Amino acid sequence: MTEKYSGKTAIGLLSLIHMGVDFLCAFALYGRFIGRFADLFFVYNFCAFALQMPLGMLLDSLTQRAEKKYVPSLLFTLSGILLTAAGALFSPAVLGIGNALFHVGGGVLTIREDDHSHFDGQGLGVFVAPGAVGLAVGMLLKGKYFGVLWGAAAALMLLMFLLLYCLRKDLSTEAVEQKAETNGLPAVLLLCFLVVTLRSFAGMAISFSWKQGTFLVLLSTFALACGKSAGGFLSHIFGMRKTVVVSLLLAAVFYIIGDHAVFGIPALFFFNMTMPLTLYLLAQKMPGAPGLAFGILTFALFLGYLPVLSGLTGKLPPFPAGTLGSLLSLVLLLLACKGRS
């Protein structure tokens, strides 16, 4: 099996597992735990997102000391899958911790596979995209069919064993260390952090009047996921700066008339194209600490959720909120991409 083929297979399996993990989280969260736990969403979101930064630091530390560099990331990934399945039955806190462990472990594995196969961030888009689909389907089912939980857990176990088989050769060799390019790291870190926080806030706060009914919810989620995946591929083909400029300018325009589904759906597609780009930018600046890079940006996601989850802000219309958010993200990312094609 060639390196690129092996990398594509591993990233594909991690992406499917990501969809399954997020499906289980949403399925259990909305169907089993609502009304039984106080401050449910804060507890889950804190465990699932805020904990990824310290877990990422721990993973980086374990990786640096490990003889076989893939082993700590794989152990985080596997333990995350198992805890997610257990948490779906028993506790939103355990559910969130499992989610955090999987995302950190799976995210670092994806970063390494993407780097080793010279995908230039394409793999990151493929990995992050299916999570939104899993969340949407889980929310729609809302625990109505309890047997689905067992079926999803069984599917995750199968995918887990397939991933182990796929990475069996990688586990016997050490990862190639990439030379750090840390020039401008503080600025890139801050800019990417602000972009992700803004994107998280916009995703939670902006409300579309047309987004009702199963079909439109799934269609908008599919557009969002496709945008995340497309961002990595288009950046590889046309360059990061061109991708950032075109996608966010188009998002800004479509948000102006986003109250109509035919324009709001493309707005979601283009606005989310930069998601893998921020992760790729920061991971390239922190090659020795991919877990921390991943955790920093998921902590930004958590901060972006807080104003909406706490009720400090109400729902915002696509215009001007989406348009302004797109243009501000454009300025911040152009500064972060300085020096890139």
pLDDT at 326: 96
Helical residues (DSSP H) of 142-239, grouped into ranges: 146-166, 185-205, 214-238
Q: Which residues have a Cβ under 8 Å from the Cβ of 306 and sit 6 or more positions away? A: 312
Residue 247 tokens read as 């996608």
- Separation between Cα atoms, residue 5 and residue 34, nearest integer Å: 42
Looking at residue 13, its amino acid is: L
Identify the architecture of domain 3-172 in CATH: Up-down Bundle (1.20)
pLDDT of residue 90: 81
Q: Which of 246, 260, 273, 275 is nearest to 319 (CA)?
A: 260
Report residue 100 as tokens.
């955090």
Q: Average pLDDT per run of 10 along the chain, which is 341 residues long?
A: 67 93 89 66 88 96 86 92 87 92 95 86 92 90 70 81 74 49 82 95 92 90 94 93 96 95 95 94 91 95 87 86 96 87 63
In the prediction, which pLDDT does 167 show?
75
- CATH class held by domain 185-336: mainly alpha
pLDDT at residue 1, rounded to an integer: 47
Q: pLDDT (tens digit, 9 = 90+) per residue, 279-333?
A: 999 999 998 899 999 999 999 999 998 888 777 787 899 999 999 999 999 999 9
Write the DSSP string, 78-128: HHHHHHHHHHHHH-HHHHHHHHHHHHHHHHHHHHHHHHHTT-TTHHHHHHH
Q: Tokens 């780097």 — which residue?
A: 115
The pLDDT score that the predictor gives to residue 115 is 87
Q: Encoding tokens for residue 150?
A: 């067992």
- How is the chain split into domains, by residue range? 3-172, 185-336
Query: What's residue 169's pLDDT?
Result: 60
Residue 145, pLDDT score? 65
The mean pLDDT value of the chain amounts to 87
Separation CA 304–CA 260 (nearest Å): 25
* Topology alike, domains 3-172 and 185-336: yes
In this prediction, residue 191 carries a pLDDT of: 95
